[in-house]
Amino acid sequence: MRDERFEVEPFTGSLGAAIRGIDLVADDHAMIDEARRFGPFGGNPVHTPVEGYEDIMRFAREPDDSGKVIGEEGHMDLAWLARPPGIVMLVGEEVPPVGGDTCFTSLEEACQSLSSRMVAMGAELAGIHSGRGVFAINAASHASA
C-alpha cells in the first residue's frame, strides 16, 4: 500500500508489515498518539515505564547478554490480565543484522483458519493464564542486580 505520507510493505499474506515514512521514534508523543488510535492504554503491571510516559516501557539487551529472554519460545503479552492488550507496538533502536527480531502473529487469523474439527476439539479445552512466572523471574533478576 502506498500513501503520499507513508508506505506499507507486507511481510506475509496475512499479518505483519514494515511501515516507512512515519517517524515514531523522534517524538514519544507521536508513537503514543498513533497507538491511541487503536484504543486506550491498559497498563503494564510487570515493567517500569519510562519516566513521564506511563505507557512506554524500555527493554534493553546488551550485545554481551547471553541469558534467555523471558518468553523467547513464544508468548502473548500480558495474556493473564482481565483485558489483555489488543496490540503491542515495538520500536527497534539498535537491531543487529542477524537475530534480535520480534515476530508477531494474529490469534484471530489463526483461529479463523482452523478446520471445523480442530475448532470442535479446542472448544472442549480450557486455558489457564498466569503472570506468576513473569513476576517471579522479574523479582529474581531485580534482586540479583
**pTM of the predicted model, to two decimals?**
0.60
Q: Tens digit of pLDDT for each residue in 89-102?
A: 777 777 777 776 67
Please say if the pLDDT value at position 2 is more than 60.
no
Q: Tens digit of pLDDT for each residue in 101-129?
A: 677 777 888 888 999 999 999 999 998 88
Does residue 104 lie in a domain region?
yes
More confident residue, 13 or 44: 44
Q: What is the CATH classification number for the domain harbouring 66?
A: 3.60.130.10
Q: Tens digit of pLDDT for each residue in 7-37?
A: 888 877 766 777 788 776 667 677 788 778 8
Q: Which ranges of 22-131 does DSSP label H, i.e. alpha helix?
A: 28-36, 107-112, 116-123
Does residue 1 lie in a domain region?
no
Average pLDDT estimate for 126-144 = 71
Please check whether residue 101 is in contact with residue 34, taking contact to mean a CB–CB distance below 8 angstroms.
no
Which residues constitute the domain of residue 97? 7-144
Does residue 134 lie in a domain region?
yes
The DSSP element (H or E) to which 141 belongs, if any, is: helix 132-144
Does residue 118 lie in a domain region?
yes
Cell of 65: 547478554
What pLDDT does residue 115 have? 96
What pLDDT does residue 8 have? 84
Q: Tens digit of pLDDT for each residue in 52-80?
A: 888 888 877 787 877 777 677 777 788 88
Does residue 32 lie in a domain region?
yes
Does residue 115 lie in a domain region?
yes
What pLDDT does residue 35 have? 78
What pLDDT does residue 138 have? 65
Does residue 133 lie in a domain region?
yes
Total domain count for the chain? 1
Cell of 35: 497507538
The DSSP element (H or E) to which 49 belongs, if any, is: strand 49-50
Does residue 2 lie in a domain region?
no
Who's near 33: CB < 8 A, 6+ residues apart? none
